[in-house]
Structure 1
């Protein structure tokens, strides 16, 4: 970040993160209870919204897969891809397994 000015957004985000870390270090059980109640509230009251959002995103992805936008390539016209299809599959599979294990481990 040489030569860049730190903005108010950075300082606000840093302050909020610092407060959460301090709160968690001083009162870990209370922070666990608060975050658990917030998570439960969201799951109970907005679970339907989450399912509809995922369905909408899936429909948009399928539409883009079969529309005229499917042939758009990222990068220059004659540029070789940085990663092969096999590498992309391995990276996406690893990311999906990693987050799945992380979430299921905490359940």
Structure 2
């Protein structure tokens, strides 16, 4: 399954790239076939709620994190040219830019954005 990863480039700026984060295989359960990934190790699970005016300036995650947007919409900005990427409900991305300038995060949709972070 493809998703976007935020990573630190050689010049210390964060960038976006598409990666294959989860290898999925068809699995049949009680006659229904679904695509299922293999289990991923997880240190902890955190739930975040953001008001629609939430903004967190340049920062790095404390560890590599899988982020699943459950509701609302987030905008992440990276790089020396302030490249932006929006993540709506259902999006999965990896925050892996542990060093350097980092990225900014803001909620852009009215209401709340609910995000699950899985640190592995």
Under a length normalisation based on structure 1, what TM-score does the superposition of the two structures give?
0.21
Higher relative contact order (CA 8 A, sep 6+): 2
Scaled by the length of structure 2, the TM-score of the pair is: 0.20
Q: Could you say which structure has the higher helix fraction?
A: 1
